[in-house]
Amino acid sequence: MYPSRFRYEAPRTIDEAIQLLHEGGAEAKVLAGGQSLVPLMKLRFAAPELLVDINNLPGLDHLDVAADGGIRVGALCRHRDLERSLDVAQAQPVMAAAAPLIADPVVRTRGTLVGSLCHADPQGDWAAVVTALGGHVVAQGPGGRRDIAITDFVTGPFQNVLAYDEVAVEAVLPPPRARVAGGFLKLERRVGDFATAGTAVALEIDGDRVVRAGIALTGVGSRTVDARAAADSLVGQGLTGEAIMRAADLAAEAAQPTSDHRGSAAYKRHVIHTFVTRILTRVSQTSEAAA
């Protein structure tokens, strides 16, 4: 496993990093956790001429959970930090459910959430979570910072909307307006495997009514699927058996899986249906128990 020749730079400031990316143009890549990029380079599926290592940049390793429940995840915040954060566990059950299912412990120690969003693997987990939560990415380039909604950020398989001289500096999850609930389920054949199919469900519940819902799917399309119709069908409703079934039907419809060695398209669609049903049923049971 020997990558092609490349230039390596490890700048100390974000401006320097942006300048390097600007010079490198389309042949430059940002290195954060390296858990996807480095294997791709070793397989020579990726052969960037310039690697800009952002691990020395100050102020990017934050994980801020605000009092209002809003969360900011810096570009150097590792999966492990999210997995071990009590604040995250209390503020966002969806993130807390997903964090321990990201890859394996070795990858979680180095890999980053923001890097995972940028990599835009259709089988990635975090993009589904951030989509379900209605989050956005903050990008910094020569012209300053801009916010990009996650649904606009990922444009296709392994493609994002960033300009070549922009760095994704953080991901932002908005503060909830009501009680949060939800979950993340993924079918994998083994720890560290990519998702055969996975589902993130994020709810905000006021009393017994859903006031906001997000449902996003992974592994069942050429990019993360935002199952908007399924989520919208829950808003204003209680989590009745009928509502759950309708949302699961709509989510399965939104999936665009293909058959491969991990399973047939019909099977993956069925798994999405089952997972949406299971997460919503568990939320409704927990809510009933709490009430």
Partner 1 sequence: MTATEPAPTTSRALDEIKIGGMGASRKRVEDNRFLRGRGHYVDDVVLPGMLHMEILRSPVAHARIVSIDASRAWDIPGVRLVLTGEMMATRNLAWMPTLSYDTQAVLATDKVRFQGQEVACVIADDPYIAKDACEAIEVEYEQLPVIVNPTQATAPDAPIIRDDKEGQADNVIFDWEVGDRAGTDRAFAEADHVSTIRMHYPRSHPSPLECCGSVADFDRATGKLTVYMTTQAPHIVRAAVALIAELPEHLIRIVSPDLGGGFGNKVPVYPGYVMSILASILLERPVKWIEDRSGNLISTGFGRDVYLEGEMALRRDGKILAVRMHTDSDHGAFFGDAQPSKFKIGLLHSTFSCYDIPTAHLTARGVYTNKAPGGVAYRCSFRVTEAMFFQERMMQAAADELGIDQAEFRRMNFVRDDDFPHRTPFGFLTDSGQYAKCLQVGLDAIDYEGFRREQAEAAKQGRLLGIGISCMTEPLGAGNSREYDILGIKMFDSAELRVHMTGKAILRTGAKSQGQGHETTWAQIVAHELGIPAEDIVVEEGDTDTAPFGMGTYASRSTPVAGAAVAMVSRKIRAKARKLAAHLLEVSEEDVEWELGRFYVRSAPDRGVTIQECAMAAYSNMPDGLEPGLEANAYYDPPNLTWPFGCYIVTVEVDPMTGVWDVLRVVAVDDCGVRINPMIVEGQIMGGLTEAYAMSSMQFITFDADGNCIGSNFMDYLLPTAWETPGYELHEVVTPCPHHPIGAKGIGECATVGGPAAFVNAVMDAVKQYGVRNVDMPLLPDRVYEAITQRHDVSGAPPIRTDA
Q: How far is the CB of 17 from partner 1 (least distance, A)?
A: 26
Which H or E run contains 189? none
Burial 84-116 (b: 16+ CB within 10 A, else e): ebeebbebbbbbbbbbebbbeeebbebbbbbbb
Of the pair 151, 256, the CB lying nearest partner 1 is at 256
Rounded distance between C-alpha atoms, residue 146 and residue 143, angstroms:
9
Of the pair 149, 191, the CB lying nearest partner 1 is at 191
Rounded distance between C-alpha atoms, residue 116 and residue 210, angstroms:
29
Q: How far is the CB of 287 from partner 1 (least distance, A)?
A: 22
For partner 1, the binding residues (CB under 8 A) are 1-5, 43-44, 104, 187, 189-194, 196, 258-265, 267-268, 270-271, 274
Amino acid letter for position 128:
A
Residue 269 · residue 277 · CB < 8 Å: no
Of the pair 78, 186, the CB lying nearest partner 1 is at 186
Rounded distance between C-alpha atoms, residue 129 and residue 5, angstroms:
36
Of the pair 168, 255, the CB lying nearest partner 1 is at 255
Q: How far is the CB of 8 from partner 1 (least distance, A)?
A: 14
Q: How far is the CB of 58 from partner 1 (least distance, A)?
A: 33
